Structure 1
Amino acid sequence: MKIAFTAPMKPLDHPVPSGDRTMGRLIVRALESLGHEVTIASRFRAWRKEGSDALQAEVKAEALAEAERIAADWERTGYRPDLFLTYHLYHKAPDWIGPALADRFDLSYAIVEASRAPKRQRGDWAFGFAAADVALARADAVAAIHNADLDCLAAAVPHRNLSVLLPFLDAGPFLKASTAAKPLAAAPLKLLSVGMMREGDKTRSYEVLAATLAELRHQPWHLTIIGDGPMRDHILSLFPPERISFLGALEPDALPEHYARHDLLVWPAIREAFGLVLLEAQAAGLGVVAGDTFGIPDIVRAGETGLLSPEGDVSALAANLLRVLQEPELADRLGFAARQHILDFHSLPAGAARLEALVEKALRNHSSGKESPDK
C-alpha cells in the first residue's frame, strides 16, 4: 500500500532530537516493516510557539500553497497514495495539507497522536484549534497516543473512527544491552534520569527531581543525568555535584548500554504525553519511579513495572523512591517485569500491528462514507 506521510509538529529530519521526532520515525519504520511504501509528502512544519489569528492565517496560506505544490507534483508524476497519514495534530500544529490532498484525490485520511484541548477554542489559539477540528472531522481514523486524550477527542470524532494507538519502540538494542550487562541492584542505588534541558516542563521535571532527592539526601544513591540544552547550568546547580554524573546529550546508539548500567529510572514526567525514555528504560530492564501524568499509566504498570505518584508531588515521589532505596531487590523485580512488559506490548512488532489495524480502519471507513450512526 502507498502511504503519504507528514508530521506538522516536527519533520522527521528536524535537527533537534525529541521523543516526538523519534516516534514519527518509528511509525514510518513500522509501516515499512509491514510492506507499505511510505513517502514523506511534505516537510512543512505548521507548529508555532506563539498563536494569533493573523499568524496562523499566514501558516494556513503557506500550508495550502504547499498542498498545491504536492498536488501538482502528484498529477505530473501520476503518483496517488492509498492513504494520507498525519502524525501529531493539535492546536499548535494543525494539518491543512492532509485534508486538502485527501479531498482533492479522494484519499483515506488518518491521524496518529491527535489531542484536543477545549480551553483553546477561544483566545490566541482559537484559529489553530478550529483548523485541527476540521482535520479531525475529515479523518477516517484518528488515534490518540494515550487514553487520557479520548474524552476530548470524542466530542469531535465519531466513535467508529477513534482509537488509542499506544506508543512503541525498537526494543531490540535495549533488550540486548540489559541481557548482556545489567547487574543486580545494590546500595547505593544507581539512579538514572534522561531528559532534554530546555525551558518549561523539562526544567520543571528536573526541579521536582532535585527537590525529591533533597528529601532523601541521607539515603544511599547516585544519579546519572543524560541530556543537555540551554537550561543546563540552572539544572545542574540544583543537584549536589558529588552525587551526580552528568553525561550530556548522547547519540541514540549509545543509550542502551547506559540504561543497562543503572538500577532505576527516576523522572517526574511533568506534562509528559507518555515519555519515550520510560519505554526505553523498561526495555533495558529498569523499573521506573515517575509522575502519574497523561499517558504514563498506559505504558507503566503501577506496582508491577514502576511506582507512580501524582504529578509534581515531591513528597509522594520521594516516598516511592525511598521504598526502592530501602529494598534494592524491588528495583530488580520491577526491572524484570518491565522488560517483559515492553516485549509483550510496546515492541516494534506490537506497534506495527496496531498501525495496521488503524490503516485498515481508515480504508474501511472511507469506503463506507463519513457518516456514522453511533456518532
Structure 2
Amino acid sequence: MRIAFHTPLNLFADGGVSGDRRMARQLVAALESLGHVVEPVKIGRGYLRDSEAASLACLQAEAEALRENLLASWRDGTAAAPDLWFTYHNYYRAPDLLGPEIATALDIPYVTAEASDAARRAHDEWAPHTAIVRRGLDAADLHFHFTERDRLGLEPWRREGIALLPLPPFIAFDRDPPRRIADGGPPRLITIAMMREGTKQNSYLALARILDRIRDADWRLSIVGDGRKRGEIEQAFSGFPAGRVAFLGLLDRERALGELSHHDIFVWPGVREAYGLVYLEAQATGLPVVAFDSGGVSATVQRDETALLAPEGDEAAFAAALAGLLRDGARRAAMGKAARRFVLSERTMARAAERLAEGLAIACRNRSLKRQARAGGAPLP
C-alpha cells in the first residue's frame, strides 16, 4: 500500500531530537519493512503553545490549503493518491487537521497511533482543540495505543468499525547495543533526559531529592542531557559531595549507549512520562530500571523482573527500592540480564511490524464494511 504518514506534533524530518520523533521514524521503518511505500506529509509543525483562537485558525487555514492542493493533485493524476492515511500523535495541542477529512474524501482507511483524549480539556480553553481531536477519534478505522493509559482514554470510541489494538513501545538498533561492563567500584547510576521545563525538570528535581534520602549509600551518578534548565538542575544536585554527580552533557546515541554500558542502574523518575524510549535503551544494554509507576513508564518494562516501580510521587518508596538494589549486586545482575533479553526479544522492530500488519488489515476490513454499509449492503455487525 501507499501510506500517507502525518505527524502533527513535530515535522517528520526536521532533525530534532525527541522521543516522539524517534518513534515516528521507527514506525515508518517498520511499515516500510512490510513492503509499504510510506510518504511523510509535508506541512508545518502543528504544535500549539497556547489556546488562542487565532493560533488554531492559522493552523486550520494552512491545513485547508494543503488538503485542497493534495486532493486536486491526486484527482488529476499529477501525484499518486495514498491507499491509507496514518497519523501519529493526535492530541489537543497538535490536533490532526488533515487525516479525517482526506480519508473521508478518498474513502480510504484512517489509522492513528498514540492518539489521546484529554477529557479535562473538553471543558476549558482547549475545548475547541479537543473537539477536533475527538472528531478524528470518531472517524478512524483503527487506533494503535502504546500504553494502558491511552487505551483507557480511547475506550469511548471503540465500537464496530473502530478497533483498538495495543502496539507496545519498541526500539530499533542499527547493531546489537553494547553489553553492560562490570567496572567494579561503587555502583554507578545513570540518567538520560533533556533539561527542559515541565515534566523533565520535575523529574530531575525529584531525583535530586530522592538521592538526598540515600546520600549515605555508596553510589555515583552520571547525568546525560542538556537544555534550557541545565543551570537550575545543576543547582539541585550541587549539595552532594564533589565526585558524586557528573554532568556529561548532550551525547549522540552511540556515545549514550556506550555510557549506559558502563553503569549499573538506570534511574529516572519519569513523572508523567508518555512512556520513554530511554527505558528500553537502558534495559537493552543490561541495566535494571528504577522509576515511578507514572504515565506510560510501566509499558516499557517488566515490573519486578527488569524494573522496580515506586508509586507515583512516593519519593520515600523510590529511595527505598533504589537503596535495596544498590545493596544487592546479585539482583542487579539478574535483572539486568532479564532486561536485555526482554528488549532484544520482545520490543523489536520485527515484533512491531507484525502488530502493524495485523492492525492495517483490521483497518482495511473496517473501511470496507463501512463502504458496504453506505452502499446499502449489510450493515456493520
TM class, shorter-chain normalised?
Answer: over 0.9
Q: Deviations over 1:8-63 (max 9, x none)?
A: 01112234311011100100011111111101122332211111334323322221
- CA separation in 2, counterparts of 1:323 and 1:35? 48
Where 1:196 maps in the other structure, the secondary structure is coil
- CA separation in 2, counterparts of 1:48 and 1:329? 48
Give the superposition deviation at 1:107. Answer: 1.2
Letter in 2 for 1:330: R
* Range with bigger deviation, 352-361 or 229-238: 352-361
Letter in 2 for 1:232: R
Question: Unpaired runs of 5+ in structure 2?
Answer: 374-378
Corresponding residue of 1:56? 56
2:277–2:300 Cα contact (<8 Å) kept: no
Give the superposition deviation at 1:361. Answer: 1.4
- CA separation in 1, counterparts of 2:174 and 2:311? 31
- CA separation in 1, counterparts of 2:45 and 2:158? 24
Corresponding residue of 2:192? 194
- CA separation in 1, counterparts of 2:196 and 2:14? 16
Letter in 1 for 2:319: A
Corresponding residue of 2:298? 297
Where 1:315 maps in the other structure, the secondary structure is helix
Corresponding residue of 1:252? 253
* Range with bigger deviation, 219-228 or 289-298: 289-298
Corresponding residue of 1:68? 68
- CA separation in 2, counterparts of 1:243 and 1:43? 46
1:3–1:38 Cα contact (<8 Å) kept: yes
Of the three residues 197, 202, 222, the one matched with 1:224 is 222
* Range with bigger deviation, 127-136 or 328-337: 328-337
Give the superposition deviation at 1:365. Answer: 0.7
Corresponding residue of 1:11? 11
Where 2:4 maps in the other structure, the secondary structure is strand
Corresponding residue of 1:165? 167
Give the superposition deviation at 1:307. Answer: 0.2
- CA separation in 1, counterparts of 2:43 and 2:250? 25
Identical residues among aligned pairs (%): 38
Give the superposition deviation at 1:131. Answer: 0.2
Corresponding residue of 1:341? 342
Bigger relative CO (Cα 8 Å, ≥ 6 apart): 1
- CA separation in 1, counterparts of 2:357 and 2:197? 37
Please report the RMSD computed on the Cα atoms of aligned residues, expressed in angstroms. Answer: 1.8
- CA separation in 2, counterparts of 1:66 and 1:78? 14
- CA separation in 2, counterparts of 1:292 and 1:209? 14
Give the superposition deviation at 1:373. Answer: 6.1
Corresponding residue of 2:47? 47
Corresponding residue of 1:92? 93
Give the superposition deviation at 1:199. Answer: 0.3
- CA separation in 1, counterparts of 2:98 and 2:292? 36
Letter in 2 for 1:349: A
Corresponding residue of 2:201? 203
* Range with bigger deviation, 148-157 or 327-336: 148-157
1:84–1:98 Cα contact (<8 Å) kept: yes
Letter in 1 for 2:205: E
- Cα 1:116–1:2 change in 2 (3 A) is same
Residues 1:34 and 2:43 aligned together: no
- CA separation in 1, counterparts of 2:47 and 2:79? 30
Question: Unpaired runs of 5+ in structure 1?
Answer: none
2:369–2:380 Cα contact (<8 Å) kept: no
Q: Deviations over 1:45-96 (max 9, x none)?
A: 2211111334323322221112122223333424021111000011111111
Corresponding residue of 2:107? 106
Residues 1:359 and 2:352 aligned together: no
Letter in 1 for 2:326: L
- CA separation in 1, counterparts of 2:365 and 2:305? 38
Letter in 1 for 2:171: L
Where 2:138 maps in the other structure, the secondary structure is helix
Aligned length, in residue pairs: 370
1:185–1:331 Cα contact (<8 Å) kept: no
